[in-house]
Amino acid sequence: EKSANIQIPIASLTKLLTALVAYEKLDLGSEMEISMADTMDISPSLKLQPGEKVKVLDLFNAMLIGSNNDAALALANHVAKATNQNFVNLMNKKAKDLGMSNSKFSNPLGFDSKENFSTAKDLVLLINNLEKLAVIKNLGKQTSYKFISKDGNSYFTESTNKLIKTHSDLEAIKTGFTSNSLGSMISRLNFQGRQIILIVLNSSNREKDTLLLKDQITQNFSLQ
pLDDT in tens, the chain (224 residues): 999 999 999 999 999 999 999 999 999 999 999 999 999 989 999 999 999 999 999 999 999 999 999 999 999 999 999 999 999 999 999 999 999 999 999 999 999 889 999 999 999 999 999 999 999 989 999 999 999 999 999 999 999 999 999 999 999 999 999 988 999 999 999 999 999 999 999 999 999 999 999 999 999 999 87
Q: What is the dihedral of CA 137, 140, 145, 149, to 10 degrees?
A: 10
Which residues lie closer than 8 Å to 71 by C-beta, 6 or more apart? 46, 48, 59, 60, 62, 63
Alpha-carbon span 44 to 103, nearest angstrom? 25
